């Protein structure tokens, strides 16, 4: 329900989600489309492409053995609830209070303290606290984002973390007489600069960085048989919970694709986990759909949610290492409708509009583009025009069907945003 005066969705005082009641408040912005997708766990659905991909990532990490125990080094956790606290998603990993990533316009909040996790990094501190020194954490994550063939409000990430104490980090670094050099992770007079955090020695950081980058490039060598012929690069990045930080990109047909973010874990995150004194570590977070789209040649991110047998049947096999190229069942035609409006008061945040369009049009929406925007002095009004591209993944849509959805979108816009449709 929409309140035309407050221009917001009216929520009941409590929302019942997964058998638990959550009070709503002015932060609440989840929608029925998101709620309807809860609990699907695509990464654990047998024979789903994300299941095959996570199997391959598991296999790669299972092979890495703890040298003393000869048991797998990495624990793998893939069943944590996507409903987390603000503390877990932001505070625990040192995200400043005024950081943009916290805003209502970027996340799905249940209320001011609770949200659908925006990344699997939300579990880092809890998992380290529980005693794990090396783990993967796989799950669905939720973000309000643009709408196009590579963005969907729910996608999947795989977090990786490995911690090292002095012994583990410098194990192989013995001097010529077979003695350990007096290498240290921490030194009190060390400062922060582009290459490292304050308190860390450069030799420790360089070893952790090498381990991180080696782990990731080896992973992609096993995932992509043609990895040797692919161009890849490390881009300097920033995250509140790592420093230094990088993004890893690969080039396909002249286009660069960002596959993951990573870095040396901020020491204050480890301090929050109770391990700040003895350990240093790396973390990465990779986007599973991005990788699966490239590996299997899947052209549109909505296909991961398809229940159509034309899609799913192509992934019905036991051996997840089988190389497969997705064959489009057939491309159904696009249908394009524009939506132009005058705003009576405030300018619409495009992210709010995308959310509304996806809520109503669901997976029939392929893309939404803000194609024109201006402010009219005399009228004292903002104008925006969006191009909405409709296309079904499994059938041809009729003009009539699209017109009805489009009309419905217009009506909801008028109610939610106080606009005049032109």
SS3 of residue 251 by DSSP: strand
Task: Identify what 152 binds: ligand FA5, Mg ion, none; CB under 5 to 8 Å per kind.
Answer: ligand FA5
Tokens 């992609």 sit on residue: 220
Count of C-beta atoms within a 10 Å radius of residue 83:
17
219 belongs to the binding site for ligand FA5 (CB under 6 A): no
Return the number of the residue (89 or 114) whose C-beta is nearest Mg ion: 89
Q: Which residue is nearest to Mg ion (CB)?
A: 261
Q: What is the C-alpha to C-alpha distance for residues 236 and 218, in angstroms, rounded to an integer?
A: 20
Residues 270-289: x where in contact with ligand FA5 by CB under 6 A, - otherwise, as a string? -------------xxx-x-x
Q: How many residues does the chain have?
A: 422
Q: For strand 280-287 and strand 255-265, is the pairing parallel, antiparallel, or unpaired?
A: antiparallel
Q: What does R_g of the chain's alpha carbons equal in angstroms?
A: 24
**How near is the Cβ of 152 to Mg ion at its closest, in Å?**
15
Q: What is the C-alpha to C-alpha distance for residues 24 and 35, in angstroms, rounded to an integer?
A: 15
Q: How many residues belong to the site for ligand FA5 (CB under 6 A)?
A: 24
| Exposure string over 291-325, b if 16+ CB within 10 A, otherwise e | bbbbbbebebbbbbebeeeebeebbeeeebeeeee
Return the number of the residue (139 or 285) whose C-beta is nearest ligand FA5: 285
**How near is the Cβ of 206 to ligand FA5 at its closest, in Å?**
18
Return the number of the residue (204 or 259) whose C-beta is nearest ligand FA5: 259
* Pair of tokens at residue 95: 């995200």
In contact, 332 and 392? CB cutoff 8 Å? yes
**Local structure of residue 111 (DSSP, 8 states):** E
Return the number of the residue (126 or 145) whose C-beta is nearest ligand FA5: 145
Q: Count Cβ atoms within 10 A of the Cβ of residue 131 and give its class: 0-12 exposed, 13-18 middle, 19 or more buried.
A: exposed
417 belongs to the binding site for ligand FA5 (CB under 6 A): no
Residues 41-70: x where in contact with Mg ion by CB under 5 A, - otherwise, as a string? ------------------------------
Contact range with Mg ion by CB under 5 A, out of 142-150, 256-264, 272-280, 401-409: 256-264
Q: For strand 83-85 and strand 75-77, is the pairing parallel, antiparallel, or unpaired?
A: unpaired
Tokens 């997964």 sit on residue: 18
Return the number of the residue (283 or 368) whose C-beta is nearest ligand FA5: 283
Task: Identify what 391 binds: Mg ion, ligand FA5, none; CB under 5 to 8 Å per kind.
Answer: none
SS3 of residue 114 by DSSP: strand
261 belongs to the binding site for ligand FA5 (CB under 6 A): yes
Residues 123-162: x where in contact with ligand FA5 by CB under 6 A, - otherwise, as a string? --------------------x-x-----xx--x-x-x---
Q: Name which of residues 307 to 346 contact ligand FA5 (CB under 6 A).
A: none
Q: Which residue is nearest to ligand FA5 (CB)?
A: 287
Return the number of the residue (289 or 352) whose C-beta is nearest ligand FA5: 289
**CA 157 to mean position of chain CA atoms:** 5
58 belongs to the binding site for ligand FA5 (CB under 6 A): no
Answer for which of 262, 264, 295, 335 binds ligand FA5 (CB under 6 A) is 262
**How near is the Cβ of 247 to Mg ion at its closest, in Å?**
6
Q: Count Cβ atoms within 10 A of the Cβ of residue 241 and give its class: 0-12 exposed, 13-18 middle, 19 or more buried.
A: buried
Return the number of the residue (257 or 342) whose C-beta is nearest Mg ion: 257
For Cα atoms 197, 242, 209, give the angle at the middle one, nearest 5 degrees: 75
Task: Return residues touching Mg ion (CB under 5 A).
Answer: 261
| Residue ranges that bind ligand FA5, judged by CB under 6 A | 119, 121, 143, 145, 151-152, 155, 157, 159, 239, 242, 245, 258-263, 283-285, 287, 289-290
């Amino acid at each position: 329900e929409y309140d035309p005066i407050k221009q917001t969705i009216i929520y009941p005082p409590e929302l019942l989600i997964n058998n638990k009641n959550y009070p709503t408040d002015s932060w609440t912005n989840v929608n029925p489309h998101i709620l309807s997708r809860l609990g699907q766990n695509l990464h654990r659905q047998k024979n789903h492409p994300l299941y095959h991909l996570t199997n391959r990532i598991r296999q790669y990490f299972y092979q890495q053995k703890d040298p003393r125990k000869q048991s797998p080094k990495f624990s793998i956790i893939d069943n944590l609830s996507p409903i987390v606290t603000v503390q877990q998603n932001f505070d625990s990993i040192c995200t400043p209070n005024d950081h943009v990533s916290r805003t209502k316009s970027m996340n799905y909040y249940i209320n001011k303290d609770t949200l659908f996790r925006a990344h699997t990094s939300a579990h880092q501190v809890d998992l380290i606290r529980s005693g794990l020194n090396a783990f993967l954490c796989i799950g669905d994550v939720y973000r309000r984002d643009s709408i196009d063939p590579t963005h969907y409000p729910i996608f999947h990430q795989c977090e990786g973390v490995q911690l090292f104490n002095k012994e583990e980090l410098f194990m192989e670094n013995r001097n010529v007489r077979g003695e350990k050099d007096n290498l240290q992770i921490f030194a009190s007079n060390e400062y922060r600069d582009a290459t490292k955090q304050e308190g860390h020695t450069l030799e420790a950081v360089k070893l952790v960085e090498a381990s991180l980058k080696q782990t990731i490039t080896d992973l992609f060598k096993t995932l992509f048989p043609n990895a040797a012929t692919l161009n890849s690069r490390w881009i300097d990045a920033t995250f509140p919970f790592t420093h230094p930080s990088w993004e890893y990109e690969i080039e396909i047909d002249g286009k660069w694709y960002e596959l993951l973010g990573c870095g040396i874990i901020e020491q204050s995150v480890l301090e929050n986990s109770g391990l700040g004194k003895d350990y240093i570590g790396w973390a990465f977070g990779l986007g599973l759909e991005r990788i699966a789209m490239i590996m299997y040649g899947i052209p549109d991110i909505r296909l991961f949610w398809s229940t159509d047998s034309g899609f799913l049947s192509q992934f019905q096999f036991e051996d997840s290492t089988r190389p497969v190229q997705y064959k489009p069942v057939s491309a159904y035609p696009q249908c394009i409708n524009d939506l132009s409006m005058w705003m009576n008061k405030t300018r619409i945040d495009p992210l709010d509009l995308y959310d509304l369009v996806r809520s109503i049009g669901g997976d029939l929406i392929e893309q939404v583009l803000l194609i024109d925007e201006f402010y009219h002095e005399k009228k004292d009004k903002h104008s925006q025009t969006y191009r909405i591209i409709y296309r079904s993944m499994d059938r041809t849509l009729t003009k009539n069907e699209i017109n009805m959805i489009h009309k419905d979108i217009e009506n909801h816009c008028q109610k939610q945003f106080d606009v005049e449709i032109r």
